[in-house]
């Protein structure tokens, strides 16, 4: 079993381990679809260009807010598998401080085993979603937290 980076937060590590235990690509996709189905509804007014993830074939939107010093993400996609990837990242990164989000290395993506199941464009999109979330966390790092 591959070990994820030490900077991988516990919630993300748990998801990585679950995916590592699933050797069947179809089961991995089913898990992504399940995550997509349980993703919190994304506010329509937030579907604006500044919240759109660049470099994705699908329409993907991500917003971040800071509460009590922790980052909370919301996201959406018009493609269910991509929406599942967004949900995976939200579930794995929500509640961290901006600094903790920035410390996460993208090696966890390889550790999930998803890259062998995803098309190259979708795998690239997954990375772009992750980098966008880190960028949004960095933007929040200097802002005052809301309660």
Residues 15, 16, 19, 56: which is the catalytic one? 56
Q: At residue 128, what are phi and psi to the nearest 5 degrees?
A: -65, -35
Which residue is associated with the tokens 């699908």? 58
56 is catalytic: yes
In degrees, rounded to 5, the angle at the alpha carbon of residue 49 between the alpha carbons of residues 73 and 98 is 30
* 3-state secondary structure labels for all residues of the chain: CCCCCCCCCHHHHHHHHHHHCCCCHHHHHHHHHHHHHCCCCCCHHHCCHHHECCCCCCCEEEEEEEECCEEEEEEEECCHHHHHHHHHHHHHHCCCCHHHHHHCCCHHHHHHCHHHCCCHHHHHHHHHHHHHHHHHHHHHCCCCCEC
- Just list the catalytic residues: 56
């Amino acid at each position: 079993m591959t070990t994820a980076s030490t900077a991988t937060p516990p919630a993300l590590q748990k998801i990585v381990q679950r995916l590592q235990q699933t050797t069947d690509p179809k089961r991995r996709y089913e898990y992504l679809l399940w995550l997509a189905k349980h993703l919190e509804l994304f506010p329509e007014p937030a579907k604006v260009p500044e919240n759109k993830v660049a470099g994705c074939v699908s329409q993907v939107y991500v917003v971040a807010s800071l509460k009590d010093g922790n980052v909370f993400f919301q996201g959406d996609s018009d493609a269910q598998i991509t929406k599942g990837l967004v949900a995976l990242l939200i579930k794995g990164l929500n509640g961290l401080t901006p600094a903790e989000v920035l410390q996460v290395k993208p090696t966890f993506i390889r550790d999930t085993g998803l890259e062998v199941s995803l098309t190259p464009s979708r795998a690239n999109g997954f990375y772009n979603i992750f980098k966008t979330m880190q960028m949004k966390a960095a933007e929040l790092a200097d802002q005052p937290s809301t309660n």
